[in-house]
Every structure is written in C-alpha cells, then in structure tokens.
Structure 1
Amino acid sequence: MQKKVKKISDYIGFRYFLLIVLALTGLVQFLFMHSNIQEYTYTVEELQLAPETIRSPKTIVDEAKTEQDRLLAAEQVEPVYTFNESMAKNQAAMIDSFFGYVTDTLTSSKDGDTLDDKLEQLKKRLSSIDEKQFPFRFTDEQLKLLLSQQVTDLEASRALLSKTVGQMLTKAIREDDIASIQSRIEQTVRMQSVFPAELVNIIVVMARSSIVETETYNEDMTDARRQQAKNLVEETRILQGQIIVQEGERVTKDIYRQLELLGLLNDESNIRMGIGLSVVTILQMCVLYMLFNQWGATNARKQNAVTMVFFVYVLGLALLKILSFVADEFTVHIAFLFPTALTAMLLRLLINEKVALITSVLMAATAGVMMNTQYGAVMSAEVVLYVLFGSVTALLYLRTGEKTSHVLKACALVSTMNALYIFFYIIMTQTTYTVEELVFYASAALVSGMLSGMLTLGLLPFFESGFGILSTMRLIELSNPNHPLLKKILTETPGTYHHSIMVANLAETACEAIGADGLLARVGCYYHDIGKTKRPAYFIENQMGKNPHDDLPPDESARIIIEHTTYGAQLLAEYKMPQEIIDIALQHHGTSELKFFVHKAKELGIEVADGQFRYPGSKPQTKEAAIISVADSVEAAVRSLKDPTPEKIRTLIQSITKDRLLDHQFDECDISVKELKQMELAFCETLNGIFHSRIEYPKD
C-alpha cells in the first residue's frame, strides 16, 4: 500500500494527491449523510385523503395565516369617535345670535318704519354672516312674521329654544343619529306652549337645523388602535414535528397550503438539503486540506497520513451507517454504541495528536448529522458531544504513554466518561426510562469504550504493515529483549549488545534535548550493529584475546568492518523490520572513513584509492540517525579513555562532532549547529554520570 501511494503521489504531486483523496473522502461522507437525512415529499391533492400522517420537518412562520389573524383582530376593533363638548354651546349661541339680530332690528327701528323697512334692515344684518356658520334660511314672509312679534315673546322663545337645543347636544350624536334627534326635538318644540303658535313652524326649522353630530369619527386614532391590535397578534408558526394532517384525514385547502409552504409537495426541500450538506462537507474537507498543506513533515509522511485519515474516517462513517440502518428498530438512542475514541486513538498512534483531534471533531459533527433522531433537526447535539468527550478523553490519557496497557486504560476511562455523559443525558431529557433502557445505556457506555480499544489494537498492525508506520507501540514491542534479533545480539555479540545499550542511552537523551524522537533513536541503537553478528570476533568490544585484524591486510579488515552495515540492513529486512530501523543500520556510519586502516595501509606502503576505506552510506537522513552516528563513536572513544574526566570527555565529544561536520556527514539531514551543541551537552551530562569518580574501598 505504501509503495502504491508513494508512486501515485510522486506522479501527480502531493498537492493534487491531497485534493483527490479529500474529494473522495468528501464524496463518501456526502453520500452517507444524504441518505440519512433525505426528506420525503408527498403526492397529494386537495380534498383527497392523506396517505399517511405528515409532520412538519421544521418550524416555519405561516405568513398567510398570520396576516389573516391580524386582519380579523383589526376588524374587531370598534371605530373611535371624538365627542365635541363645545358643540352644544356653539349651537345655542347661534340661536341666541339669530334672535338677537331680530330683536336688535325691532329695538333700533324708528316709529315710522314699516314692516318692509324692518325686513330690509334685518336682511342687511344677516347678509354679513357666513352661511356655513349660520344655517338658518327663511323666506321674507317668515322673517316678517318674526318681526311682527313682541320682543318679550321673542326673548322667551329664544331662551327656551336655546336651552332645549343645548340639552339635546350634550349627548353623543353621530351622523346616523341626527334624523331621529331632529324628530325628537321637533316633538319637544311642538309640545311647548311658550312658543307663539304662529312661530312654531319657524322654531321647528331652527331646532332641526341646530341638531348636528357631536361625536365625529377619528380616523387616526382608529387606525392606530387597529394597528396596535395587529401588532398584539403573534406570528402563527407551524412547529417542527407538528402534525399537519393525520392519515386518512381530508386534505383541506388550508392543509394543502401548509404542505406547500413546508415544501413537502415538491423536491425543493431535498435540493436545499443537498446544497447544505455539500457546503458542510466542503468546509470539513477544507479544514483537512489546511491541516496537511501547512504541516511541515516530508511529503512521504504526509501522503501516508492523508491516506490513513481517509481509511480511518471512512471506517467511522461505515460504523455510523450500520448503526443508522438499525436505529429505527429500537426505541433507545442506539448512537451511544458508536466507538467514540476509535478515530482519535488510531490517528494518535499512527500519526500525531493534532491530526487525531481535528479529525475527531469532524467525525463528531458528521455523527451528529447521521445519527440525528429529532424530526427535522439539523444534527443531534447529544451525539456530537458524546463523540467529542470520548475522543478528547482518550487523547489526553494517551499523552502519558502509548503502550498496549495505556490503550486499554484509556478505553476504561472513555467508558467511564461515556457513562457520566449518558447519565447527564438521561437526567436532562426529563423522561421516564424503564429498567431495560437504563441497562442498555449503561452497557452502551461500556461497549463504546471497549470497542474503541479492540478496534484500535486490532487495526493498528494492518496500518503499520500496510503503510510502513513505526508507531510508538511498535517501537516498544521492538525494544523487548525477547525479540529474536536482540537475543541474537546478546548471545552472539555480548560486547556489542552492551555497547548498543550505552549508545541508546546517549542517543535518546540527546534526541529528547533537541525535540527529536528519543524512542526511535533508542530502538534504532539496539539494532544498529546487528551486522556484527556475522563476524563478532572482528569487532573490538567482542574480542577476548588476539585481534584477528593483526593478521589481515588493511583493505580486507576494512571490508569486514564496512560489511556490518550492509549485512545488518539485509538481516533486518529479512525480519521485516521497519524501514526507519533499517535506515539507521545503514546510515549510522554515513560515508565516514576508517582512518585506522587508512593509516595502516599507508604505513605498509599500500596505495589508498579514493573511497576505498569509506562506508557506502548513505549519509544520515534524519536527526535521529545523525545523533546515533555521533553517539556510536563517542561511546567507543570514551570507553577507551584512561582516567576519563569531564574535561577530557567534553573535548573528545567536540572533536568527534567537529570531525563529522567537516567530513560533511550532516549535509543531508536537517540538524542545525545549535542542535549539535545541545547534543554535545546532553552527551557530556550522561557520560559524566557514568564515568563519575568512585570511592576507593580499603582492601582489608
């Protein structure tokens, strides 16, 4: 799998490879989610019987019904009328004024004035008055009749008529009431004996003309009150889950309108859902794109990580799909069986914590959509939180270690967290649960946690072998002294075994000091000299007597020494060891020169060809390999020192590091001079602890 992925990625480039994998991941996610949330539309007509009970998939405002209710509320508001209190005084004053003009004409006339002269004077007085303000209109004969009366009779008539009109107008009179009030005041006038009989008809005309509306329609206030009544009417909502029509019920015009409003009579709702799912899927894939595009790892590591995220993510989607298939068969929330920490633990062990956390968040959101049981809701918040709590719990605990025991303990902790969360869910839902349901939820919490661990431990070897991943758990397994190769080193080359342990201590400390992988360095050191098992006696740490190189020409000795790197790599490959361990075995001497045998050859007069006494390499490609190469030489050199002191040790370490640097052994890895200084300091501290001064005990 690793080779195929690398071949494809190298051919099209990592960025295009990333886009293709994420597009495929997004497509799988979209198809899984869409089949879970797809809404159904209905083929119904007005007045036919509903084929099934139809509920509202969402909460929506029914604008038409709301407007209808508001118009009805406005119509129920009574019109507002304004009462004019001054109208009675105004009309009474008008009557007084008219009679005043008549009496003034009579009192101001001369003795010789005829009735016609008095009429002309009265008409002259009346002509100066606005017709709108003085509605009385009489013929000349009627005016003459008034002028022929005694002033005292006129004053009595004026007072009574003014009082009668004033009393009538103190009550609310609307336009529709005027006719009836006029008839009433006419009857009142005709029943009064105070009025001269010849003036009754004139006074009736005046009385009827004086009756006007005292309460007028106030359009502004009426409109304001009706608007207020409209505003008090709340919006009519069709609630999510509300039954629109029962199975077998007649689909009325109003019900049909509601179905149209909810989009249940066409495919518009499904199209909108598809667009929404496309948007959220694209957003999720964009997050993953930014994660991998900005990651500073090598393309080889990133392409493996992207592919593994694809398989783990699709695995989680498949499990969710299986649960969603059977969810309708249960009354309990079956989503709580989902292994919440599976994605987090697998990606944490295979890649790193950051990738695991972000992918787990995306998985939680997807689980919320796919396992949503609320009719018409976007996602199930309780499922999202359930997956998040489980994932984060596992990630936090795995910071303490990555052994199998740590994974199992993390699963137990996840099960506990799941149980606490489900307890919270049961309490907050305020629903009465049966004993069987409570047992199911308790079991689901345990199953979710345990299933997370079982699947993680079960799938981890497949990913490691398929992608050549050297996980922490794999490294810990390789560090077990019972491993066949480590037993081979211990039994066949005990000196090399001890040397490897010492180098491992130095390399691990230095790697941790500069932020490299200390565990990889330690395990790599255990196996880096496995090639010495072919001819152990030719290496000084395994020699107990005569050195066999004393009887060999320098070029033959060099060939035997150099061979231990290539033979070691072949042996590791036969045992299917991880490539990182094989690379360390090949690179721990880089292309350095065997100076001892070069010097010996020159002493013997043997011509030394360029590269004849150098290791084939390659040069260290990683920080771990570079540090191991220095640690290997430092351990052997310090062990040969007589009376080692901190100063001697420091000088020796600096000399070896400088020699490797000048020999360009670090040119192909990204280790810096600053990190080399930190490495030297770590070596000094470790070796000073080993070669510290000891108390000389008395012999007796």
Structure 2
Amino acid sequence: MMMASEVTKEKTPSRRTAEFMERHSSLIEFLSFFISILSIVIATSPLIKQMELPSDEQSIGKVSTSTIRADRDYILVDEDATKQARENALKGVKPVFFFDVSLSDSITDSIKEAFGFMRNNIQVALYQDEDGNPREVGVKKLPESIKKKELEMIKEVALSSREEFERVLGIKLNEEELNKLINLNFSRDIEDGIISIIQPIMQEVIVEDKNRLIQEKGSGILIQRIYAKEQRAEGIISSLTSIKDINEVKKLLEKKIIFLLADYNKDERRLIISLASKLIKPNLFYNAQETERRRTEALSSVTPVTISIKKGDILIRDGEKITQEHLKLFKGIKQQSTRERDIIITVGILLFVMLIILVPYIFARAYVRKFAPKTKDILLMGILLTFSVIFGRLLLTVCVALSDYFPQIPQFIWEYMIPFAAGAMLVRFILNSETSFIYTIVISGYAYLLTGNDMFYGFYTLIGSLIAAYSVAHATTRAVILKGGLMTGVMNAIMVIVFTLMRGEQVSMIVLLGCALGLVNGIMVSMVVTSTAPVLEVAMDYLTDIKLLELANLNHPLLKELIVKAPGTYHHSIVVASLVETAAEDIGANPLLSRVCAYYHDIGKINKPEYFGENQKDGVNKHDSIKPTMSALILKSHVKDGVDMARSYRLGQPIVDVIQQHHGTSLIKYFYQKAKNLQESVNEEDFRYSGPKPQTRESALVMLADAVEAAAKSVPDLDAVRLRGLVQKIINSIFKDGQLSECDLTLKDLDKIARAFIRVLDGIYHQRPEYFEPAVKQADSQKRQQDEKSQNNETDREEDSEDNDSDLKRLGL
C-alpha cells in the first residue's frame, strides 16, 4: 500500500468529482429537482398510458381478451339511475291546492252588505208612513195601504241600485229574481235563508272541475288552508271522495233545501235556491306556480347517482363477456378521459409536485438552522426520489398482479408492503434529521400520487418514514438498521389498524394481512438501506457513523504510519480525541465524528515530523537554522498535506473540512514575534493559517482541544488551579481572535467545553505521590527530566513577549 508520505499531487477521482460538482452546482441541483419531478409526473400522468376500452354496441357479447383496470379514480354519473331518481322525486311532489276557508264568511258578509244596502236605499226613499213615522221595511209583503205610487218608487230605487247590489253580492240577477226581491222588499228573511244555505255548503271542499283530481287519485293532493290574515296550514288528502265539484254541490243543495227552508213557501225557496246556487263558489284552487316550484326544488335536490371507481379496480376480467353494464362504464370513462382533461390533470400533478418539493425546501433553507444541503446532498435526494418512484411503480405492478390472483383481497392491502420509507432512513443515516424530515414530506406526496391520490397511504408513508429516520439516529452498527426496520414495520401495522377504524370498518383477516405486509415493509426497508448505504458511501464519498467506526480503528494505515513517523503527534492526537469526545457529548455535537476527526487532524505532519516540537529528539530543533518565514510555511504546510492525504485515503469530506479548519486563520505567534525581533519586514498574513475558520462545532472542538492540549503539555508541574486558568485563557484567546465566529457555538457551549477539558486533563496531569528511589536512580531520573525540560524549552512554542506565561511553542500559538 502507498505510504502517506508518498501521496502525489495528482487529483483523485473523488476530488475531481467534488470539483466538478462545485463548478456546476446550480446545474446539478436543477437537474436533481427536474429529474425527480419528471419521474413522478411520468409515473402518474394519464397522458402516458391510455386505456383501450370498447365502447360500441357491437362489442356486447364479445369476450374480453385482457383484464382491464382503472388507470385512475373515476366518478361516473349513472344516467339511468339518476333519471329514475328524478322521476321518483317528482312523484313525491303532490299537486298543491289552496283551500280558502274564509270564503264562506266572505260570501256571508257580501250578502249582508248587499241586502242592507238595498233596504237602506228603500228606507231613505220611503222614510215615513202616513202618520209621519219611519215605515218598516224588510217585511215579506207590503201593507195593502201602500199606494201604487209608492210601489213604483221602490221599484225605481231597486232598479237604480241594481248594479251596485250585484257588484257587492258578486252575482248577476235576472229580471225574475229582481222582481221577486222587490216584491219581498229585499226581506231580511230572504237574506237569512240564503245565508243558512251558503254557510254549511261552503264548509265542504269544493272544486271547479273534479277531472283534474282524477289522475291524483292514488297519491292524493296537498292542501294549503288559507285563513284570515294570510295564515296557512298544510295537509294531505289521500281520499278524494270528500271533494265535490259545483254540480255535486248544487245537487246536494236541492236535497237539503226541504230541511233547511221548511218555513218558507215554494216561491221563496225557489228564489233562495236560485240565488244560493249563484253565490256558491269553488274554495279549492289548483296552485300551478307553487306546484311547479316544489317540483323544481325536488329535481334540484336529487344528486346525480354516481359510480365510484378507484384506481386499480377491475373493470372487466380476461375471458369475461362484455355486457351492457360494462359498456356503460366504458362510455363514462371515455367521456372523462378526453385529451384536454388529461392535460389538465398532468398540469395539476406537475404543480403539486413542484409545490411539495419547493415549499418545504425553501422554508427549511430559510428557517431550519441545520438544513444546509450541499450540491451532492441534493443530488442524493434526487436520486433517491427517482429510484423510489421507479421501484414503487414496479411494486405497484406486482400488487396489481397479486390482486388479480387473489381477487378477494383489495389492491390497497398489497400496497402496504411498498418500502417508501427506505429513502427517509437512508437520508437520515447518511445526512441528518432535518434533511430527512424534508425528504419525508416529499416522498409522502409522491406516494400519495402513485397510489391514485390515496390520502391514507400518503399519511401511512409519512408516519413510517419518520419512524424509519428516527430509528437510525447515530447508528453505529448494521444491527441498528435492522432494529429500525422492525420499528418501522410495527408502526406500519399500527397505522393499518388506525386507518381501518377511521373508515368505520372492523378488523378482519384482510386487515391483519395488511398489518403483516406492513411488517414486511419494515424488513424490506432495512434490507434496502443495508445494501445501498455502503454503495452510496463509496460512490458519493459520504461519511456515516458506521464508516466513522471503521476509521476510528487505530490500525488504519494512516494512523499506523503516524505512530511510526510522528509518535509525538500520534500521542497528541489521542489526547485531543479524548478531549473533543467528552466535550461533544456535553454540548450535543457528534462525539464519534469529533473523536475520529481528532485522530486525523494532524496527519499532515507525517511528511515533516521533525519540524514539530512533539516529535523532536536529542534537543535538535531544525527551526534554529531557517528563517521564521520558512518555519511558518512549513507549519502551515501540514494542513495542506493533511487535506491531500485525507482525500487520497477517502476519509470523507467532514474529516477533510476539520483538517482544513482546525487552525482557522490563527496567527503563528512564536515565529511572527521572532521575525519581528529580527527586525525583518513582516507581513502578518504570512504568519497566519489560510483557513477557513471552523464552520461546525466539531471543527471548533478540535481547534480548542488542539491548542489546550499543546499548552498543557508545555507547562511543568501543572496542578488543578493552573490547569483551569490555562484552559480558560486558551479558549478566551481563540474566541477573542474571532476564530469561532463562523460556527454555532454559544458562550454556554464554551463554558461546557472548558469544564469538559479540565475534567479530562485533570485525569491525565494530576499530581502523583513521590516514591522512594535509590540515590543513583533518582539522580538519573532527575537528570533525564532536566534534559527533557531543556529540549522542550528549545523546541516548544512560546506566548507573546507581553505574556510571560507558557503557551503553545509547538505551533506558535
């Protein structure tokens, strides 16, 4: 195997791929969105696949050569059933008649007013008798004493008032009737006789023509009774025998006259019957307007009878004869499957997919702090969405075949086994929770479309995907993925039961089969993730927790070479790893990533280990013979060399980033001060690392631990008090220099980090009791310690000349 020190400057394939993505990031992001959107539109658009349905009458009786299923949801109007429903609704509307209850009183009042009017006029004309007193009027016959001249006067008054009398009474009088009334002097007895006939007769239900009611004989009619002051009441009369027309009433009148007018003579009875016959009117009237209004309301209340067809429902089976019912379905589907309608549906699908992708993405970009996907992350999600659509479409075809083979089991039950949640688990396993949540929203929308706009299935995918993502947070073994698949399967089974109860159905054997398929779904999710995660790790250069565990193995070739060529650096890295892991746990960062990054952060020192104080031996310091500017270049080069080595060994971009950022843009103080002391023309930028500053909490932790560990090693006789002051001083110095301004560490986090560092370092550098040793051995030991201190004082970095305390002479901090 190639040694780290032999790494060439040639770019690796992964580096070339990364640079290509950086240059064409916008294009790659656009293509990722476009391809994922296009895939779901193609998979669900009715323009892509048209059903071939026979629709002519000649097809009746022929045998279908294939099983035809609905390509989407349809709601067809059953014209025959709708027509029948409307006819039934019209039959339920009974003809409306007005029954004027007050008509009897109205006629009575007219009789009284008319006779009173006429008698009053006669009395005015003949207001007194021979003695000068008012003459009585309204008697049956005039007294014999009344002269013929007076009779002529009464007739003249009657004739002059005849028109008004007829108007008030509401009828026309013939000459015979008028003469009889004049002879009777419009007697009150005649008035009472007429009223006694009218009132009982008008209580009957009287219609003008009974023929209109014959056709309603079976169903009856609706009567609205009209009282005074427009008060109304409704009732239905089923038996029409109680309703009489005018002719029947007149015949009834002739029968009752003998009993009602027994006190009257024949001429008077004839007059009363004649006038009463004219005064009797129909009190039941057909209301055509109200009847039509009610018929219209009845028709409008009839909703069209529809036939609901779900996507995947079998329209006709292979070998089944085509019937009139089949033809009716086929015609209805063809009417709805016009080219224009299919275009509208496709546009709707396109807009829905764009919204379901762009809205969560834009929102998360703006307001979710940890959602910052790189170009390759977007490419990954695009690939996963596209393959989820393809894989899901294939499994839907399998579900259709299973539904054909087991017709008693609905197709949607088989769909519970499609593992859409695998993508969400992969995104969480490879990236982070925030990104997986956005992916879950999108894939749920895709599942909703693929299953024919099944809202239940969309929520089924949403909940399953969230559980799948939750179950693999910080997964460190493949067994965690299998456990996550089982958790997903259990949740799927629960969701199947929940949806069944929401539909108001009972838990049957078919539902239990759906629960079992939900469990199979979870197992398939874990299998898909287990098999594809390593491929994605390698192909797209991702760093998962499982890959981190592999890199944490101290037998890794880079670490083995580091311990051989730069043992001091190796030991330093081990201590830094302990510091960052403890601090990461306290502040909620990724402890595993922090530890692995600490192992590899100084691998660039393998190329020139003797230029770094922790690796120098025998008191030889090569920096003594070169200029400070050259020393600074050598120190800075270990960052670049480390980045090249990390990329060559495919350690992963997060580790590369930490190597590049663990010094930020900090100043190499020792050699900068040395150059100033030599009175050289000094440019401060030449003595600063090229950066960038730490972008993540893990990078910041490595920077802080690197400086603290180096400073702690350079301080002799380090007790707890001095250790606490040293840690706080180093962290404050880095903070004041602005090196932490681009990561999301808070002051509270810095306090937790300082406490964690002190806790770990106190365990390493605590005071040990002195043991008795022979004088010679003790002397040798003291001499060796003095030599080591002398060597360290020559090679380690120092602090500012203004600060007399010990500092990082190793890197000049």
Q: TM-score category by the smaller chain?
A: 0.7 to 0.9
8 Å CA contact 2:447, 2:458 repeated in 1:
yes
Counterpart CA distance in 1 for 2:45 and 2:206 is 71
Tell me which of 336, 360, 364 is aligned to 2:440. 360
Counterparts of 1:353-392 in structure 2 under 5 Å? Answer: 353-372=433-452, 378-381=453-456, 383-392=457-466
Find the counterpart in structure 2 of residue 76 from structure 1.
94
Tell me which of 32, 46, 51 is aligned to 2:43. 32
8 Å CA contact 2:666, 2:739 repeated in 1:
no
Counterparts of 1:328-347 in structure 2 under 5 Å? Answer: 328-331=400-403, 332=409, 333-347=413-427
Find the counterpart in structure 1 of residue 758 from structure 2.
684
Find the counterpart in structure 2 of residue 410 from structure 1.
484
Find the counterpart in structure 2 of residue 137 from structure 1.
173
Unmatched tracts of structure 2, length 5 or more = 1-13, 123-135, 210-244, 404-408, 775-813
Find the counterpart in structure 2 of residue 173 from structure 1.
206
Matched pairs, number: 678
Residues 429 and 226 of structure 1: CA distance in aligned 2, closer, same or farther (over 3 Å): closer
SS in 2 for 1:131: helix
| TM-aligned CA deviation for residue 486 of structure 1 | 2.6
Counterpart CA distance in 2 for 1:586 and 1:232 is 76
| TM-aligned CA deviation for residue 208 of structure 1 | 3.6
Counterpart CA distance in 1 for 2:506 and 2:764 is 66
Letter in 1 for 2:506: Q
| TM-aligned CA deviation for residue 330 of structure 1 | 1.4
The one-character-per-residue Cα deviations of 1:16-55 (angstroms, maximum 9, x if unpaired) are: 7645532332222222222599785967469985988999
Counterpart CA distance in 1 for 2:283 and 2:558 is 113
Letter in 1 for 2:303: E
8 Å CA contact 1:342, 1:455 repeated in 2:
yes
The one-character-per-residue Cα deviations of 1:307-334 (angstroms, maximum 9, x if unpaired) are: 1111111121112111122221113422
Counterpart CA distance in 2 for 1:431 and 1:50 is 40
Residues 409 and 168 of structure 1: CA distance in aligned 2, closer, same or farther (over 3 Å): closer
Residues 448 and 418 of structure 1: CA distance in aligned 2, closer, same or farther (over 3 Å): same
Tell me which of 430, 439, 461 is aligned to 2:506. 430
Find the counterpart in structure 1 of residue 788 from structure 2.
none
Find the counterpart in structure 1 of residue 354 from structure 2.
282
8 Å CA contact 2:474, 2:545 repeated in 1:
no
Find the counterpart in structure 2 of residue 23 from structure 1.
34
Find the counterpart in structure 1 of residue 147 from structure 2.
113
Residues 549 and 466 of structure 1: CA distance in aligned 2, closer, same or farther (over 3 Å): same
Counterpart CA distance in 2 for 1:369 and 1:175 is 66
8 Å CA contact 1:171, 1:214 repeated in 2:
no
8 Å CA contact 1:6, 1:303 repeated in 2:
no
Counterparts of 1:287-686 in structure 2 under 5 Å? Answer: 287-291=359-363, 293-294=365-366, 301-331=373-403, 332=409, 333-372=413-452, 378-381=453-456, 383-399=457-473, 401-424=475-498, 429-430=505-506, 432-433=508-509, 441=514, 444-490=517-563, 493-510=566-583, 517-533=590-606, 541=614, 546-549=618-621, 553-554=625-626, 558=631, 565=639, 567-585=641-659, 588=662, 617-623=689-695, 624-625=698-699, 627-653=701-727, 656=730, 666=739, 670=743, 674=747, 679-680=753-754, 682-686=756-760
Q: Which range moves more in the overlay, 677-686 or 360-369?
A: 677-686
| TM-aligned CA deviation for residue 460 of structure 1 | 2.3
SS in 1 for 2:548: helix
SS in 2 for 1:642: coil
Letter in 1 for 2:173: R
8 Å CA contact 2:393, 2:450 repeated in 1:
yes
SS in 2 for 1:389: helix
Residues 27 and 137 of structure 1: CA distance in aligned 2, closer, same or farther (over 3 Å): same
Residues 555 and 626 of structure 1: CA distance in aligned 2, closer, same or farther (over 3 Å): farther
Find the counterpart in structure 2 of residue 375 from structure 1.
none
The one-character-per-residue Cα deviations of 1:440-462 (angstroms, maximum 9, x if unpaired) are: 65653343223222322332233
Residues 586 and 119 of structure 1: CA distance in aligned 2, closer, same or farther (over 3 Å): closer
The one-character-per-residue Cα deviations of 1:511-566 (angstroms, maximum 9, x if unpaired) are: 566665543332122123334556767765456x7344489835699588776555
Q: Which range moves more in the overlay, 80-89 or 390-399?
A: 80-89
| TM-aligned CA deviation for residue 343 of structure 1 | 1.6
Residues 328 and 36 of structure 1: CA distance in aligned 2, closer, same or farther (over 3 Å): farther
Residues 345 and 643 of structure 1: CA distance in aligned 2, closer, same or farther (over 3 Å): same
Find the counterpart in structure 1 of residue 807 from structure 2.
none
Letter in 2 for 1:235: T
8 Å CA contact 1:340, 1:387 repeated in 2:
yes
Counterpart CA distance in 1 for 2:256 and 2:746 is 124
Counterpart CA distance in 2 for 1:615 and 1:341 is 51
Counterpart CA distance in 1 for 2:58 and 2:111 is 67
Counterpart CA distance in 1 for 2:46 and 2:113 is 87
SS in 1 for 2:95: coil
8 Å CA contact 1:119, 1:143 repeated in 2:
no
Letter in 1 for 2:602: D
Q: TM-score, normalised by structure 2?
A: 0.67
Counterpart CA distance in 1 for 2:733 and 2:200 is 128
Counterpart CA distance in 2 for 1:504 and 1:688 is 15
Instruction: Percent identity, please.
Output: 22
| TM-aligned CA deviation for residue 629 of structure 1 | 4.0
| TM-aligned CA deviation for residue 370 of structure 1 | 1.0
Residues 265 and 342 of structure 1: CA distance in aligned 2, closer, same or farther (over 3 Å): closer
Letter in 1 for 2:246: I
Letter in 1 for 2:459: L
Unmatched tracts of structure 1, length 5 or more = 373-377
SS in 1 for 2:521: helix
8 Å CA contact 1:507, 1:521 repeated in 2:
yes
8 Å CA contact 2:32, 2:378 repeated in 1:
yes
SS in 2 for 1:79: strand
Find the counterpart in structure 1 of residue 283 from structure 2.
215
Counterpart CA distance in 2 for 1:564 and 1:460 is 33
Tell me which of 308, 314, 317 is aligned to 1:240. 308
Residues 3 and 33 of structure 1: CA distance in aligned 2, closer, same or farther (over 3 Å): farther
